[in-house]
Structure 1
Amino acid sequence: MYLSLTDADMLQPRPNLVGLQNYSAMFANPEFWRSMTVTAIFALSVTFLEVALGMALAFLMNAPTRLQRLLRGAVFTPVVVSIAATAVVWNYLLSPASGPVNQALGAVGLPGPGWLSDPNTALASVILVATWKGVGLPAVLFLSGLQAIPRELEEAAVIDGATRAQVAGRVTIPLLAPTTMVVFFISLVGTFQSYGLVLLLTGGGPAGSTNLLGYYIYQNAFSFFQMGFASALSVALFLLLLGLGLLQLKLSERRVHYQ
C-alpha cells in the first residue's frame, strides 16, 4: 500500500511520494479496464465450469464402480502437475501446425484454428486449460460433501417414490450448498489471481486478448519496472477480492443452511 503511493521503479533507492497519482493513472488507463473485462470473463467462465464439472465428476467418483480409484486419481492428477509442465503439454496439443487437436480436426475435414495465437480463440483456450488443471480440487471437495450427507435422507426420498434425478435435484444438491459456496469462492479467488498459465501460454496476447489482471500486475512490476503502479493495481485487486469475500459471507448467512 505504501509503494502504491510512490513512484518506485526498482532502480532508485528511495522512491518519492506521489500521492494518488498511480491510482489516477490506473483508472484513466484503458488497458486496465480491458484487463478487468478479460479477467471477469475468464474468472466467471472458469468458476462456473469448475463448479458444474466438479459436481458432476464428484457424482461419478462417488458411484461404486471398479474404476472408482482410477477415476479419482485421473481427476486429481492435473492439480498436482506444475504450471510449467501443463503449459508445455497444452502448447504441444494446441499447436496450429503439428498439434494433435488440429490433426484430429483435419482428419475429419475440419479446419484447425490457431488456438493460442488467434484473438478469437486464445481466451477460450486458456479457459479450457485452466479448467482442466483446476477442476480436480472442486471435484474432491464435492466428493467429500457427498460422503458427508446422511444416506438415510436419500433412502427416505427413494421410499417415497422419488427417482434418482429427483433425489439428486431435491435432496443431494441442496445439501451440498455449503460445499458449493466454498468451491465457488475458492475457484473465483484463484482465477482472479491467475497469471502463470497466461505467462507461459500466450504472454497476454494476442492483441491483449488474454491479458488478465494478475499478469498485468506482473508485467508492470517485473517487465516495465513500474513497481508503484503495479502496487496500485495489487491494492485494487486486494480490495476486489475483499469485496467478493464479504459478499460470499453475506450470501452464506442468507442462502446456505448447514443443518
Structure 2
Amino acid sequence: MNTLDREIPLTPAAHSNAALHQRKTSTLSARRWKETLLGYIFLAPSLLLFVVFLFYPLVQSVYLSVHETDPRGRVAGYVGLDNFIDIFTSEKFYKSLEVTGLFTLLTVPTGIALSLLLAALTHNHLRGMRIFQFIFSLPVVLSVGTSAVIWMMLYHPSVGMLNYLLSLAGVQPVAWLTDPKLALLSVSLMTIWMNLGFTYIVLLSGLQGIPDDIYDSAKIDGAGPFRTFVQIIMPLLSPTLFFVLIVSIIGAFQSFGQIHILTKGGPVDSTDVLVYSLYQDAFINFRFGTGSAQALVLFVLILILTIVQFKAFERNVHYQ
C-alpha cells in the first residue's frame, strides 16, 4: 500500500471498482491479442504464398546475380558484380531497352486513348449499350497465349484475314511478323487489343462513379458535351487514368507471352524486349546468373519509372 492509501484509506466500494477496472483492462487486452492472432491466422495462407512465390524468388535472384552457374542452375562460383558489368557494357541490353521503350510508347498511350473513347461512347444509358459494353470487355477473358494464337492466324502471310482484306482492296500481302519494320508494330497492335478489355472496364467504372448531378449541372450552365468532358469529367477521372497509366507501363515492360509466340524476339531482334532477352539468357543460354541480374535491373527500372510517374503526375490528380 502506498502513502496515499495509508493517508486516505480506500473504502470497500473503491477497492471493488479498482479491481473491476483492472479486470476490464486485462479482458480488453486479452481480446485485442486474440483479434490480432486471429488476423494473422487469416493472413497466414496469403503470407505463405507471398513468401514462396515472391520473397524467396527475389532473394534467390539476388543470390544468383552475383554468382556464375552451370547449365543445371547450380552455383559454380562467386563473380561479384561481373554479371551487372556485362549487362551495362552489352550493346544488346541497350538495344533491348530501346525496343522496350518503343513498344511501351506504341501500346500504352494508344490503348488508354482508345479505351477512354470507347468508355465515353458507351457510358450513357441508352438502350442496348450493355451489349457494346460486353463486346468491348471480351478481350479481358482471353489469356495471352490464346490472344497471340488468334492474331498469329490473322497475320498469316497467305491465309490470314488481314492480307485477304488487303487483297480485296488490290494491295499486295504484307509480311506482318517477318518484316523488321513491321514486326514490332504488329505485336503492338495485338497487345493493344489484348489489354483493351481491362483498361476499358476500369475507365468505364471510373466514369460510372461520377455522379449524374455533375452532368446535369454542366448542362444547366450551358457547357457542351466536349467542354464538359474535358474540363469537368477528365479531372474527376484523373485518379483512374493515373492508375491505368502506371499499370499499363508496368505491364508493357513485363510483356513476354505474345512476343514469344508471335516473333520469338525477331526478326533481327526487332521485337527483342528486355523480358525476352532475360528469358534467352536464363533458359536458352543457361546463364542463370546473368538472367537474374537482368531481372533485378528490370525491377529497378520499373521501380524508378513508377516513382518518377508519381512525382511528375500525381500533383495533377484530383482526388474527390
Q: Which TM bucket (shorter chain)?
A: over 0.9
1:12–1:96 CA distance, 2 compared to 1 (3 A): closer
Contact 2:242 2:314 in 1 (8 A): no
In 2, the alpha carbon distance for the partners of 1:188 and 1:13 equals 34
- State the match for 1:11 in structure 2: 72
- After TM superposition, the score normalised by the length of structure 1 is 0.96
Which position in structure 1 is the counterpart of 2:286? 225
Cα contact 2:263–2:271 (8 A) shared by 1: yes
Distance 1:253 1:114, change over 3 A: closer
Residues 94 and 115, structure 1, Cα contact 8 Å, conserved in 2: yes
Instruction: State the TM-score, normalizing by the size of structure 2.
Output: 0.78
Q: What is the one-letter code of the residue matched to 2:88?
A: F
Residue equivalent to 2:172: 111
Q: CA deviation at 1:75?
A: 1.4
The Cα shift of 1:69 comes to 1.9
Alignment partner, residue 66 of structure 1:
127
* Cα offset, 1:86, TM superposition: 1.3
Please, which of 170, 178, 185 is the counterpart of residue 246 of structure 2?
185
Q: Distance in 2 between matches of 1:13 and 1:203?
A: 27
Contact 1:46 1:131 in 2 (8 A): yes
RCO (CA 8 Å, sep 6+): is it higher in 1 or 2? 1
Cα displacement (A) at 1:112: 2.2
Aligned residues: 259
Q: In structure 2, how many angstroms separate the alpha carbons of the residues matched to 1:117 and 1:166?
A: 45
Partner of 1:34: 95
1:121 aligns with 2:182: yes
Residue-by-residue CA offset, 1:140-189 (whole Å, 9 max, x unaligned):
11111111112222221211111111111111112111111000000000
Following the alignment from structure 1 to structure 2, what is the Cα–Cα distance between the partners of residues 128 and 9?
39
What CA RMSD, in Å, does the superposition of the two structures yield over aligned residues?
1.3
CA deviation string 1:173-215 (max 9, x = no partner): 1211111100000000001000100000000000000011111
- Which position in structure 1 is the counterpart of 2:108? 47
- Given that 2:139 and 2:197 are in contact with CA atoms closer than 8 Å, whether structure 1 keeps it comes out as yes
Q: 1:152 is aligned with what amino acid?
A: D
Match of 1:156 among 194, 217, 220: 217
Percent identity among equivalent residues? 39
Unaligned runs of 5+ in 2: 1-61
Contact 1:205-1:211 within 8 A present in 2 as well: yes
For the Cα contact (< 8 Å) 1:9–1:228, is it kept in 2?
A: no
Structure 1 residues 254 and 120, CA, compared in 2 at 3 Å: closer, same or farther? Answer: same
Tell me which of 263, 272, 297 is aligned to 1:202: 263
1:5–1:17 Cα contact (<8 Å) kept: yes
Q: Which deviates the most, 240-249 or 128-137?
A: 240-249
Report the equivalent of 1:216: 277
Q: Does 1:249 align with 2:310?
A: yes
| CA separation of 1:233 and 1:14: change in aligned 2, threshold 3 A | closer
Code of the aligned partner of 2:102: I
| 3-state SS, counterpart of residue 7 of structure 1 | strand
